[in-house]
C-alpha cells in the first residue's frame, strides 16, 4: 500500500502550478482556499449577475514526485432580470447553485516536463426540485507543463502549458485546446498569453502588483422541469458567456494570503436560454459594461 502524507504548501509549489488555469468555471487549483465575489451591475441591460464562490483544495503525496489533489468548489449565482420581461417566468431562474468535486493527479515525466490530469464531476442547477441526473455535469483536463519559473539557470523565467479541456459547465459540447505561455522578461514585468486568460503584469513590489487582464467568464446550468418561453417553447439550460478586459490589483498580506480586486469592461457577452439539444430558445438583451470582482485567497 502506498503511504500517503499531507505536505506543506511550500513543498508542492511545482505540483500545483500546473493546475493554475481555468476554463469558464475559473477554478484555480493552485488556490488552497478562496472566497470570491463577482458582480455585473444590470445597468441598461435586461439582466444582471452576482456570483459568490468558495473553494478549498488538499494535496496528497503518493510517492516520489507523484501527487493527488482533491477539493470542492461551490458557487451561488443570482440573476436579476428587468421586470418588463414577459417571455418567461423570471423568478424560476434567478438562483442557481454549482458544486464541483476536483480530483487531480500529476507526475514528473522527465527533467523538463510534468503531466497532470483532472476530473471534475459536479452539479449545476436552479434546484427547485430534487436532484436528478440532468443536474449532473462532468468536466476534465489533461495538461503537459514545462515550468522554468524558478530555474536559476534560465535568464528569463517562463512556463508553458499545453493540453485539452472539456467542461459540461461551459455550454460547448466538445473539448477545447488549452495553451498558456508565461514569461518574466524584466525584474518588474511579466506576461501570460493564452486562453482563457491573458495578462500583462507590473510587479510594483514583493507584496503588490497590477495586471492588465483579458479573460473569459460565465456559466451553464440546468433548469429543473424546463422553462416555458413565449408559451410554446421549452428551455432546459441557462447560459451566460462573457469576455472581459480591464485592470486587476493584487496585494499579499503574507507570502500565501492575497487580496485581489478586478475592475473591467465587458467586451462581449451573451445571455441565452437553450433547449436539450443546445439550441438557443431565446436571447436576453445584455448590454452590461462593468465587471467587478474581489476576493481573498490562500495560495502557493
92: left (phi over 0), alpha (psi -120 to 50) or beta: alpha
Nine-digit cell at 127? Answer: 434546484
Instruction: Count other Cβ atoms within 10 Å, centred on residue 299.
Output: 17
- Residue 282: band (very low, low, confident or very high) from pLDDT cuts 50, 70, 90: very high
Least confident of 16-25, 89-98, 133-142, 159-168: 16-25
Give the global pTM: 0.84
- Look at residue 237 and tell me whether its pLDDT is greater than 60: yes
Q: Which residues contact 133 (CB under 8 A, 6 or more apart)?
A: none
pLDDT of 64 reads 79
Scan for cell 473591467, then name that residue.
Answer: 264
- Look at residue 151 and tell me whether its pLDDT is greater than 80: no
pLDDT of 55 reads 93
- CA–CA dist 197, 31 (Å, integer): 16
Query: For 199-218, what is each residue's pLDDT tens digit?
Result: 999 999 989 999 999 988 88
Q: Across all residues in the chain, what is the average pLDDT?
A: 85
Scan for cell 445584455, then name that residue.
Answer: 286
pLDDT of 2 reads 34
Query: For 248-265, what is each residue's pLDDT tens digit?
Result: 999 999 988 999 999 999
pLDDT of 280 reads 92
Contact 277, 292 (CB under 8 A): no
- Look at residue 16 and tell me whether its pLDDT is greater than 60: no
- CA–CA dist 105, 115 (Å, integer): 8
- CA–CA dist 285, 83 (Å, integer): 13
pLDDT of 173 reads 64
Q: Which of residues 129 and 174 earns the better pLDDT score? A: 129
- Look at residue 158 and tell me whether its pLDDT is greater than 60: yes
Least confident of 67-76, 145-154, 203-212, 271-280: 145-154
pLDDT of 30 reads 59
Contact 43, 265 (CB under 8 A): no
Q: Which of residues 72 and 287 earns the better pLDDT score? A: 72
Looking only at the bridges linking them, the beta strands covering 208-229 and 47-63 are: unpaired
pLDDT of 198 reads 92
pLDDT of 103 reads 93
Contact 229, 284 (CB under 8 A): no
Across the range 95-115, mean pLDDT stands at: 92
Burial of 279: CB neighbours in 10 Å, binned 0-12, 13-18, 19+: exposed
- Look at residue 8 and tell me whether its pLDDT is greater than 90: no
Amino acid at each position: 500500500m502506498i503511504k500517503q502524507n499531507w505536505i506543506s504548501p511550500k513543498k508542492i509549489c511545482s505540483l500545483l502550478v500546473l493546475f493554475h488555469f481555468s476554463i469558464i468555471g475559473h477554478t484555480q487549483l493552485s488556490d488552497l482556499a478562496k472566497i470570491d465575489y463577482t458582480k455585473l451591475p444590470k445597468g441598461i441591460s435586461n439582466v444582471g449577475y452576482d456570483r459568490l464562490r468558495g473553494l478549498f483544495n488538499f494535496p496528497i503525496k503518493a510517492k516520489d514526485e507523484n501527487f493527488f489533489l482533491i477539493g470542492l468548489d461551490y458557487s451561488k449565482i443570482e440573476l436579476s432580470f428587468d421586470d418588463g420581461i414577459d417571455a418567461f417566468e423570471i423568478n424560476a431562474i434567478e438562483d442557481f447553485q454549482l458544486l464541483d468535486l476536483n480530483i487531480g493527479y500529476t507526475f514528473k515525466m522527465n527533467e523538463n516536463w510534468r503531466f497532470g490530469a483532472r476530473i471534475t464531476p459536479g452539479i449545476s442547477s436552479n434546484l427547485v426540485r430534487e436532484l436528478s441526473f440532468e443536474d449532473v455535469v462532468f468536466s476534465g483536463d489533461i495538461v503537459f507543463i514545462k515550468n522554468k519559473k524558478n530555474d536559476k539557470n534560465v535568464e528569463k523565467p517562463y512556463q508553458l502549458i499545453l493540453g485539452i479541456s472539456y467542461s459540461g459547465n461551459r455550454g460547448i459540447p466538445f473539448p477545447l485546446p488549452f495553451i498558456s505561455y508565461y514569461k518574466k522578461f524584466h525584474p518588474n514585468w511579466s506576461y501570460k498569453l493564452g486562453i482563457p486568460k491573458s495578462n500583462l503584469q507590473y510587479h510594483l513590489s514583493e507584496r503588490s502588483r497590477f495586471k492588465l487582464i483579458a479573460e473569459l467568464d460565465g456559466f451553464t446550468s440546468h433548469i429543473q422541469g424546463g422553462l416555458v418561453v413565449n408559451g410554446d417553447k421549452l428551455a432546459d439550460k441557462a447560459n451566460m458567456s462573457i469576455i472581459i478586459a480591464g485592470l486587476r490589483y493584487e496585494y499579499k498580506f503574507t507570502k500565501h494570503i492575497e487580496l485581489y480586486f478586478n475592475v473591467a469592461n465587458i467586451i462581449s457577452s451573451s445571455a441565452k436560454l437553450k433547449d436539450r439539444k443546445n439550441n438557443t430558445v431565446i436571447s436576453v438583451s445584455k448590454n452590461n459594461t462593468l465587471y467587478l470582482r474581489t476576493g481573498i485567497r490562500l495560495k502557493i
